[in-house]
Amino acid sequence: MEACLLGRSVLVLLGLLAGTVHGVAQADESAAFTPAQLSHVRSLGPWPPAWTADPTNRVSGDPRAVELGRRLFRDPRMSPVGYIACVTCHQPDRAFTDRRARAHGLADLPRNTPALANLRQQRWYGWDGASDSLWLASVRPMLDPREFDGNPTSITRIYERDPELAACYAAVFGTEPVRDAQETIVNTGKALAAFQETMVTGRTAFDRYRDALLRNDASAMAAYPAPARRGLRLFVGPAGCVACHRGPNLSDGQFHAVLDPAAARFGDDDGRLGGADRLRANPMNLLGRFNDDATRANAQAVERLVVRDDMRDRFRTPSLRNVGVTAPYMHDGRHDRLVDALDHGASAVGTTLGAAARDDLLAFLVTLTDEHGERRPWSTEPLARCP
């Protein structure tokens, strides 16, 4: 009996010691961050964020509009030549990009194709912010002579030649696609935007660690690799990455000068300066008649936009979600390797990374990739009945 009691006492003691170690592990993990750094970590989530409809697009979230957009996304008739579509550059098996340094439609463009993901988290679209809505960003390539080289008439012709597509358009927008050519191309952009809003990246190892850290779940935190933990501490601390790559989408959505203008890879590119100028002059911006938000709240940003020379050579901060599978990097695709883009970003903010710090930051960035990685989900089945 005494032996049983002694054995039970030892087990209790071991249990108490294990609980103490568990508590120390919890404390040590949080103590590795300063209060300011913990606040930064907290701000990088939660993920995924709650979805909200785009008030400037009345068909945002409409399943029929999503289905119409899905069909149009892959339709080569979107270009008059009959072989260029959105999917030409935004390929599902390449993280909705194309792996090229510079995009190519009917001709080469001077910039890298951005991956399509988490687009409702953005305020400005394109590397230069030349669009103030996702639907305007979807219209832009249709009209660009280097991409689709289309026009409102050529887009209207798609529906004229496809009664089923025309019926879907009419069901979504409550009007015939041949009534107003300019409205038709804008509505086509809105359907494409409704589909692209569904492209949301999944939870990652980092998201699970962040949540575990905030609730002091030691066992869940232990699954996160030690190098990635050190990399996160650098990211929100000495390396200064979080200054621009902040918020749940790991982007401040703003425009920064991170490249030497003299080293432009594909000729002169004035960045945000040209983008802001084109946006202000675009009749389809949110100040115009196609904005479906009766409050016009989202139009205030472009209304207050003043084109200034110091916008030159500034480009929008990309999200770091799935950054490990979206090479090449930078607005002109100059870096094929993530490590080179990391070094470039560090030098841009006046930081020099040692080999160990670089390895740890890379280990952290890799944990921002979700389970699908480069091969994004794509359904060949209709997403909704339309019409």
Assigned fold of 229-366: Cytochrome Bc1 Complex; Chain D, domain 2 (1.10.760)
pLDDT at 7 (0 to 100): 38
Q: Would you say 234 and 370 are in contact if contact means Cβ atoms under 8 Å apart? A: no
pTM metric for this prediction: 0.91
Residues whose CB falls within 8 Å of the CB of residue 192, separated by 6 or more in sequence, listed in order? 69, 72, 73, 86, 135, 138
Show Cβ contacts of residue 180 under 8 Å, excluding neighbours closer than 6 positions: none
Compute CA distances 371 → 203, 303, 316, 366, whole Å: 8, 40, 26, 12
What SS3 class is residue 363? helix
CA 310 – CA 106 distance, rounded (Å): 32
For residue 100, the Cα-to-chain-centroid distance in whole angstroms is 18
Pair of tokens at residue 9? 């006492």
Q: Are 111 and 331 in contact (CB under 8 A)?
A: yes
What pLDDT score was predicted for residue 268? 80
Q: Which residues pair with 256 in a beta bridge?
A: 315
Which residue do the tokens 């989900």 mark?
A: 377
Helix (H) / strand (E) element for 12: namely helix 2-31
* H helix and E strand count, the chain: 15, 2
| Angle at 115 (CA atoms; ends 114, 119), nearest 5 degrees | 100
pLDDT of residue 383: 87
Domain ranges of the chain: 63-196, 229-366
Query: Which residues, 6+ apart, have CB-to-CB distance to 123 below 8 Å?
Result: 132, 253, 301
Residue range 328-375, pLDDT digits in tens: 999 999 999 999 999 988 887 778 899 999 999 999 999 999 999 999
Contact 52, 133 (CB under 8 A): no
Residues facing 131 on adjacent strands: 125
Residues of the chain below pLDDT 50: 1-27
Residue closest to 365 by CA, chosen among 264, 269, 230: 230
Distance CA(367)–CA(55), nearest Å, equals 33
SS3 call for 280 = helix
The Cα–Cα gap between 210 and 220 comes to: 10
Domain 63-196 belongs to what topology?
Cytochrome Bc1 Complex; Chain D, domain 2 (1.10.760)
Cα 362 versus chain centre, distance: 19
- What is the crossing angle of helices 163-173 and 63-73, to 10°? 140
pLDDT score of 352: 84
Do 229-366 and 63-196 have the same topology in CATH?
A: yes
**What is the pairing mode between strands 315-316 and 255-256?**
antiparallel
- Position 10 scores a pLDDT of 32
Angle at 275 between CA 270 and CA 278, to 5 degrees: 120
